[in-house]
Amino acid sequence: MRISELSARSGVSVATIKYYLRERVLPEGERISPTQATYGEAHLRRLGVIRALVDAGVGIAGVRNVVAVLENPPAHPSALLGAASAAVSPPDGDTAELDLAPALALLARLGGDADDCYPGQIAAVARALATLERAGFTIPEPVLAAYVEHLGSIAEAELAATPTGSAEDAVRYVVLGTTLVEPLLLALRRVAEQIAASRRFGHD
C-alpha cells in the first residue's frame, strides 16, 4: 500500500509516519520509484505498537528500545517481555541513598529475587517504601501480606493471558497492560474500598 493508505488504515498522519521513518522506528518501505515506496501489513502492525507506546507516554528513545527488541527477538520469551517492560519502567535513577533491603524483602515474599527484576523496578519499590516511612505510615502486616498475595495472583493472571501470536502482539500487550491499566487498578481499588466500607458499616 502507499503511504496515504497506511496513514488512513493506521490513523497516523503522513507527516508523523515520515517522522517515524526518519527516527528509524518504522522500517523503510519497498521502493517502487525514486519518489515512492510501498508498505505492508508489518508496517501497519509496527505503527500500532508505536502508537500504543506513545499513547502510554513512552518517549522516542523508549520506542527505539522496544523496536530493537522486536527486530532481534531474544531467544527467551522472558527477555522479550522484560525488554518491553524495561521500556516502560522508571529509570534506575540515583539509588546510592536508597535502602534496598526492605524492597528486596518484599521481592522474596513474592517468590523472586533481584535477578528477576530490573534495578529501576526494585528502586521504585524502595522509593515507595521510603515515602511511607517518611510519612510515619506503617502498613499493617496483614495488609502487606494481602498486597503480596493478591498482586502476585494478578500478575500470574496477566502473564497467563499474554498473546503468543507474534512478538508485536506480546510487546503491545505488555506495554499497554503495564501502563494504561495502572489508572484503572488504582480507581478500582478506591471503589472497592468504598464498597467494602459500605458493606461493613452500612450506608451513611
Instruction: Kindly identify the residues of this chain, within the stretch 52-71, that bind a second copy according to CB under 8 A.
Output: 52, 55-56
Burial of 70 (0-12, 13-18, 19+ CB in 10 A): buried
Q: How far is the CB of 136 from a second copy (least distance, A)?
A: 8
Q: How far is the CB of 66 from a second copy (least distance, A)?
A: 15
What are the C-alpha distances in Å from 196 to residues 9, 87, 150, 199? Answer: 45, 36, 16, 5
Of the candidates 50, 70, 49, the one whose C-alpha atom is nearest the C-alpha of residue 60 is: 50
What gap in Å lies between CA 127 and CA 37, rounded to an integer? 49
What gap in Å lies between CA 52 and CA 178, rounded to an integer? 12
Q: Are 80 and 170 in contact (CB under 8 A)?
A: yes
**Does the protein bind a second copy through residue 156 (CB under 8 A)?**
yes
Q: How far is the CB of 35 from a second copy (least distance, A)?
A: 32
- Site for a second copy (CB under 8 A): which residue of 41, 136, 164, 165? 136
**Does the protein bind a second copy through residue 105 (CB under 8 A)?**
no
> Which CB atom, from 29 or from 107, has the smaller least distance to a second copy?
107
Q: Residues touching a second copy: how many (CB under 8 A)?
A: 88
**Does the protein bind a second copy through residue 139 (CB under 8 A)?**
yes
**Does the protein bind a second copy through residue 165 (CB under 8 A)?**
no
- Site for a second copy (CB under 8 A): which residue of 100, 110, 119, 169? 110
- Beta-carbon contacts of 152 under 8 Å, excluding residues fewer than 6 positions away, are 110, 111
Segments in the chain forming alpha helices (H)? 3-10, 14-22, 41-55, 60-71, 77-87, 101-109, 119-134, 141-160, 167-179, 181-201
> Which CB atom, from 22 or from 203, has the smaller least distance to a second copy?
203
**Does the protein bind a second copy through residue 101 (CB under 8 A)?**
no
**Does the protein bind a second copy through residue 85 (CB under 8 A)?**
yes
- Site for a second copy (CB under 8 A): which residue of 124, 167, 168, 171? 124
* Residues of span 4-63 touching a second copy by CB under 8 A: 48, 51-52, 55-56
